[in-house]
Chains A and B, each alone.
Chain A
Amino acid sequence: MKPGSTSAACAALLRRDLTLIWRRRGDALNPMLFAIIVVALFPFALGPEPATLQRIAAGTIFVALLLAMLLSLDTLFRSDLEDGSLEQLVLSPHPLALLLACKIAIHWLTTALPLIVIVPLLAQLLHLPDRVLPVLLVALALATPLLSLIGAVCVALTVGMRRSGMLLTLLVLPLIVPVLIFGAGACNAAQTGLAFAAPLLWLGAWLTLALVLAPLAAAAALKISLT
């Protein structure tokens, strides 16, 4: 049998993953609920004064979103590993990096994008100043794909393990510390009226680099853990 073209394979993979997620669309809401609850915990812990909340708003939202995404990373390859389709992806004649890039894109679209959509709501909960909100959204739009990409490499390394949750956190968090520093740094700079373009440009540069390298690294990592 002659294998189909690579673009057809990618399209089929995208369609399949989207259908699978659509069939279980209730699960897709969980990261959003998680992020809302985490953000809601801060006023309980710190007290409801708007001035206090305003100061920590951008950083808190950033951390809540990264944690929500981190918890959902675990599912990236899980069901595919269980039903054996992950091995089929590795064995397929198409470049594995490209197929994984499709899966990572789906992960970003279905977990990070809904999270970014509810950010204005979270910003209101924590009294984030209106002029900071666009900066926060741009920073998150650059930071969340980075997390999906870096996270995919680590998930690929832990894919065969039964209880990988804690370990995955230990692997991913040190690697995304710079992303958090620059993303939240841009928001804090905007909040204090300073120039905020430089950290955003840095994030953009890293995202470009990660878009190219991370799928390749994830493919290499997956081949290590599936041997």
Chain B
Amino acid sequence: MNPLILWFHKLGSPPYFYRFAGRWLPWLYTLALIAGVIGLYGGLVIAPADYQQGDSFRIIYVHVPCAWMSLFVYAFMAANGFIALVWRIKLSETLAMASAPIGAAFTFITLVSGSLWGKPMWGTWWTWDARLTSELVLLFLYFGVIGLYHAIEDTRQAARAAAFLALVGVVNLPIVHYSVVWWNTLHQGSTVSLMGQSKISASMLWPLLTLTFATHVYFFASLLARSRVALLELESGKEWVRALASATEPNHA
């Protein structure tokens, strides 16, 4: 078998994943921290002030990466939920459920930082604009997934039910993303585009992209840490967890 495919199949096994995640965690956290510090320094100190918004435009360096992450994490959760439902892979259930609280946190930060940005710029903390509303709905969807997961006793059944709900909620993602295009709103359109020319100066753009990278790495680090714990809990009766527990506890050795 192709070594890459073999590795991918091995990754689906909880003990293998546990060791793999344990090896990668410190590196990912370090990378996220370094990229985050560089990006924040670049954004808050080096980047020039905006000609119109002055220094308060710097909220973009928190707001925009978190907003992207709120969508990315949801898509990641839904993709893993789909894999869990179709191929019944236990690891995907764990990954989907471990990413839900992280995504909810990113969505919450997006709403709070946007609100802090809105006060000096628009003169209001909140407005019922399409993008704000759809982001709020996204937060409620995350809460629904988390709530459903915790309401069902059996962990695996709970994960499957919550994953299904996450899949149903995917309809909201394009609404959030295109809300500024479809409706004429107070929230500005996107200035950064993947393809073609971004409408932001390069001196302001690079810290933003660095921070976007940092938040992605942080998400994966946090995801691995959370799934490790979740896997230990889920597999607590299994041999490898018992071996692990007796290895770390010197009294029973």
User: Does more than half of chain A's interface fall in helix, strand or loop, or is it mixed?
Assistant: helix
Binds B, one of A20-28, A78-86, A169-177: A169-177
Pick the contact of A224 from B161, B168, B172, B175 — CB < 8 Å? B161
What's the tally of chain A residues with a CB closer than 8 Å to chain B?
A: 22
The reply to whether A160 and B152 form a contact with Cβ atoms under 8 Å apart is yes
Secondary structure dominating the interface of B: helix
Which residue in chain B gives the minimum CB-CB distance to A225? B161
Indicate with 1 or 0, residue by residue over B111-146, a CB within 8 angstroms of chain A CB atoms: 000000000000000000000010001001101100
B137 in contact with A224 (CB, 8 Å): no
CB within 8 Å of B: which A198-227 residues: 217, 220-221, 224-225, 227
> Does A117 have its Cβ within 8 Å of any Cβ on chain B?
no
From B137, B152, B165, give the contact of A154 (CB < 8 A).
B165
Taking a contact as CB atoms closer than 8 A, the residue among A157, A173, A177, A178 that contacts B165 in the complex is A157
* Chain B residues with CB under 8 A of A175: 141, 168-169, 171
Check A158 against B140 for contact (C-beta < 8 Å).
no
Which residues of B from 160 to 188 have beta carbons under 8 Å from A? 160-161, 164-165, 168-169, 171-172, 175
Smallest CB separation, B148 vs chain A (Å) = 6
- Chain B residues within 8 Å of A158, by CB: 148, 151
> Which residue of the partner chain, among B133, B144, B168, B172, contacts A170 with CB atoms under 8 Å?
B144
Q: Is the CB of A161 within 8 A of B152?
A: yes
Decide if A173 touches B164 in the complex (CB within 8 Å): no
B147 with A170: CB separation less than 8 A: yes
Q: Taking the complex as formed, is A164 at the interface, i.e. its CB lies under 8 A from any CB of chain B?
A: yes
The residue on B at minimum CB distance from A173 is B140
A37: interface (CB < 8 Å): no
From A171, A173, A177, A227, B133 is in contact (CB under 8 Å) with A177
In the complex, A160 Cα to B154 Cα: how many Å? 11
Q: Is A153 an interface residue (CB 8 A)?
A: yes
Q: With A164-B151, A167-B151 known to touch, is A174 a contact of B141 (CB < 8 Å)?
A: yes
* Beta-carbon contacts under 8 Å, B58-96 to A: 85
Quick one: closest B residue to A153, CB to CB?
B168
In the A-B complex, the 9 residue pairs with the smallest Cβ-Cβ separation, listed nearest first, are A174-B140, A171-B144, A174-B137, A157-B161, A224-B160, A170-B144, A174-B141, A224-B161, A177-B137
Chain B interfacial positions (CB closer than 8 Å to A): 85, 133, 137, 140-141, 143-144, 147-148, 151-152, 157, 160-161, 164-165, 168-169, 171-172, 175
